[in-house]
């Protein structure tokens, strides 16, 4: 029995302990009482009520919604199904009974789409919402059942829907009748159950498929005007899509032209820029400087190409290779100019100090994301997984203490802990510290060329950060357990890190450091970890020679 003054919006919470381990349906009895207006069962002046929404929640926080509802009587326009439709302005009421008696006990049944399995005595909290002032239920009783229907409501509860002429039933009423029929028919019920399970599985598959926004052209393009001084309120002549006159004409397949026409124009063989710009940026990634140094400006303010004929030839080859960047990169990397040594040559200092003519290769530090990738590869910890969501490699505490809000960084476990740097989660206001130390660009603006700095902090990061130290430990364990003498294992570690055999001076220095570490540490693995840290902290380790 509900007491107290009704509010404009009321919500009842009724918590109980489940005597069952499986719940499929809930029965709601609304009951009359002498203390209620007109004996109720509602709290309105005439004894009516409007139940806007009805659902329940488990003790572990799961919210359960019903998909089928039936009642022995519903007021026209206030069918019981409207108490589970998710709308605040609809609901179940009981006025307008055929027998002319509003103030009497009524019953409704609510069915879950799939049975709820819980432990015995698990807490269940039922929630009844009333969004019409004073129209709450005055007295009610709740009961649960393992069965789909309680008290066989298919005859009495669906009588209202059945009495509605077929040609006047709403789509919702038709669906409710169909659902009730399919659930009770002995032949169709098993098939319907299989269908529901298949639909649920299909829904799960669809939810797992990534989605993407798409563009669709308007049937009639919007009218576009020149905006005087950029003011959209002051417009001048009408304009249509086009390109500068110095560039090839766009061949429009439609009257007005669209994005597809523009895309085709970009890759036309006679287009002077697209292939050259892309080839130049790939060249810049491989040599540190493009054939045109101003890779983002091919206009009159840009620099002239150092090798114009080579740029032209590579651009045509790029098209001949089907615009395959992979094939173009292979072509360049197999060339003699790419495979030249990056060792400094004193004889070139007066001729080409900046190495614009590429008489030797340029020595470049790798990009920020690749620094840890090298350590992952050398240590044997690199996960080969491709794609998927971002990951959270180890990171020192306190990084987000002074950002706008404290962010959650839950370090990944398992294989995700050792994925490539390109999958590292990136907070715009506070990027992953190791990436920022090695000059990763900001993500809120386009970057065509990365800066390369050389600071003590970079060496300290490689030597002491948790993300690198644990990889040094793994690398040290590998060397400690490898076959062969100590000098052979030192050679193995050197080859893994630098893809070359150490010279005698380097090998002697490493062996001396190993002996010192063995005297300092009791465990063999610790000494080899110290050697691994030393190798990984050399400049050559993160440099493309």
Q: CB neighbours (10 Å) of residue 296?
A: 15
Q: Give the residue-averaged pLDDT of 310-315.
A: 97
| Contact predicate 18/144, CB 8 Å | yes
Contacts of 129 (CB under 8 A, 6+ apart): 9, 10, 11, 51, 52, 53, 54, 88
Most confident of 18-22, 89-93, 159-163: 89-93
Q: Give the residue-averaged pLDDT of 46-65.
A: 94
Q: What is the pLDDT of residue 100?
A: 56
Q: What is the reported pTM?
A: 0.60
| Contact predicate 365/526, CB 8 Å | no
- The pLDDT mean for the chain works out to 89
Query: Is the previous residue joined to 51 through a cis bond, with omega within 30 degrees of 0?
Result: no
What CA–CA distance (Å, rounded) separates 191 from 205? Answer: 21
Q: CB neighbours (10 Å) of residue 152?
A: 11
Q: Which two tokens stand for residue 62?
A: 């799961």
Asked if pLDDT for residue 152 goes beyond 50, the answer is: no
10-17 β-sheet, strand order: 10-17, 123-130, 53-58, 63-64
DSSP-derived secondary structure for 174-185:
HHHHHHHHHHH-
β 22-30/224-227 pair status: unpaired
Going by pLDDT thresholds of 50, 70 and 90, the confidence category of residue 469 is very high
Q: Is the dihedral of CA 341, 343, 346, 349 positive or negative?
A: positive
Q: What is the pLDDT of residue 155?
A: 44
Q: What is the pLDDT of residue 156?
A: 44
| Contact predicate 159/153, CB 8 Å | no
Q: Is the dihedral of CA 183, 189, 191, 194 positive or negative?
A: positive
Share of the chain above pLDDT 90, in %: 64
| Contact predicate 531/496, CB 8 Å | no
* Closest by Cα among 62, 63, 99, 96 to 79: 96
Residue pLDDT, tens place only, 316-361: 999 999 999 999 999 999 999 999 999 988 998 889 999 999 999 9
Count Cβ atoms within 10 A of the Cβ of residue 272 and give its class: 0-12 exposed, 13-18 middle, 19 or more buried: middle
Q: Which two tokens stand for residue 15?
A: 């918590």
| Contact predicate 50/78, CB 8 Å | yes
Terminal-to-terminal C-alpha distance of the chain: 83
Most confident of 88-97, 277-286, 426-435: 277-286
β 22-30/106-117 pair status: antiparallel
C-alpha distances (whole Å) from 465 to each of 127, 498, 537, 541 are 51, 21, 11, 16
Going by pLDDT thresholds of 50, 70 and 90, the confidence category of residue 507 is very high
Q: Which two tokens stand for residue 130?
A: 């009333």
């Amino acid at each position: 029995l509900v007491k107290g003054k009704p509010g404009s919006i009321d919500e009842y919470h009724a918590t109980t302990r489940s005597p069952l381990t499986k719940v499929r349906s809930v029965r709601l009895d609304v009951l009359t009482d002498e203390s209620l207006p007109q004996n109720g069962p509602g709290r309105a002046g005439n004894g009516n009520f409007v139940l806007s929404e009805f659902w329940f929640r488990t003790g572990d926080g799961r919210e359960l919604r019903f998909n089928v509802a039936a009642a022995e009587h519903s007021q026209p326009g206030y069918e019981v199904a409207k108490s589970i439709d998710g709308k605040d302005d609809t609901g179940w009421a009981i006025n307008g009974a055929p027998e002319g008696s509003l103030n009497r006990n009524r019953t409704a049944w609510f069915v879950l789409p799939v049975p709820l399995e819980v432990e015995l005595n698990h807490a269940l909290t039922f929630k009844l919402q009333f969004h019409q002032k004073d129209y709450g239920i005055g007295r009610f009783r709740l009961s649960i059942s393992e069965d789909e229907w309680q008290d066989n409501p298919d005859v009495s509860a669906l009588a209202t829907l059945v009495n509605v002429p077929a040609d006047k039933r709403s789509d919702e009423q038709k669906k409710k009748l169909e659902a009730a029929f399919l659930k009770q028919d002995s032949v169709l019920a098993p098939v319907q159950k299989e269908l529901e399970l298949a639909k649920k599985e299909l829904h799960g598959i669809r939810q797992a498929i990534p989605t993407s926004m798409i563009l669709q052209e308007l049937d009639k393009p919007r009218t576009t005007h020149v905006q005087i001084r950029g003011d959209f309120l002051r417009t001048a002549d009408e304009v249509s899509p086009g390109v500068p006159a110095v560039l090839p004409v766009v061949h429009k397949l439609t009257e007005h032209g669209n994005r597809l026409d523009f895309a085709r124009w970009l890759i036309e063989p006679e287009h002077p820029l697209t292939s050259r710009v892309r080839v130049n940026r790939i060249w810049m990634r491989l040599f540190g400087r493009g054939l045109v140094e101003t890779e983002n400006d091919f206009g009159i303010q840009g620099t002239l190409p150092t090798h114009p004929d080579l740029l032209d030839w590579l651009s045509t080859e790029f098209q001949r290779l089907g615009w395959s960047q992979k094939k173009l990169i292979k072509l360049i990397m197999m060339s003699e100019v790419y495979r030249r040594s990056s060792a400094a040559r004193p004889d070139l200092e007066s001729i080409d100090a900046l190495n614009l003519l590429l008489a030797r290769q340029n020595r470049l530090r790798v990009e920020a994301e690749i620094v840890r990738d090298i350590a992952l590869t050398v240590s044997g910890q690199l996960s080969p997984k491709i794609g998927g969501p971002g990951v959270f490699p180890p990171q020192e505490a306190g990084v987000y203490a002074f950002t706008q809000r404290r962010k959650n960084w839950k370090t990944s476990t398992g294989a995700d802990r050792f994925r490539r740097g390109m999958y590292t989660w990136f907070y715009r206001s506070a990027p992953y510290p190791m990436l920022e130390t090695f000059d990763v660009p900001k993500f809120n603006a386009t970057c065509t060329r990365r800066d390369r700095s050389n600071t003590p902090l970079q060496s300290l990061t490689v030597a002491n950060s948790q993300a690198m130290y644990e990889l040094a430990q793994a690398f040290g364990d590998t060397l400690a357990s490898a076959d062969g003498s100590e000098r052979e294992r030192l050679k193995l570690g050197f080859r893994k890190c630098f893809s070359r055999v150490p010279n005698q001076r380097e090998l002697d220095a490493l062996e001396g450091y190993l002996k010192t570490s063995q005297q300092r540490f009791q465990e063999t693995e610790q000494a080899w970890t110290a050697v691994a840290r030393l190798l990984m902290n050399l400049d050559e380790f993160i440099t493309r020679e």
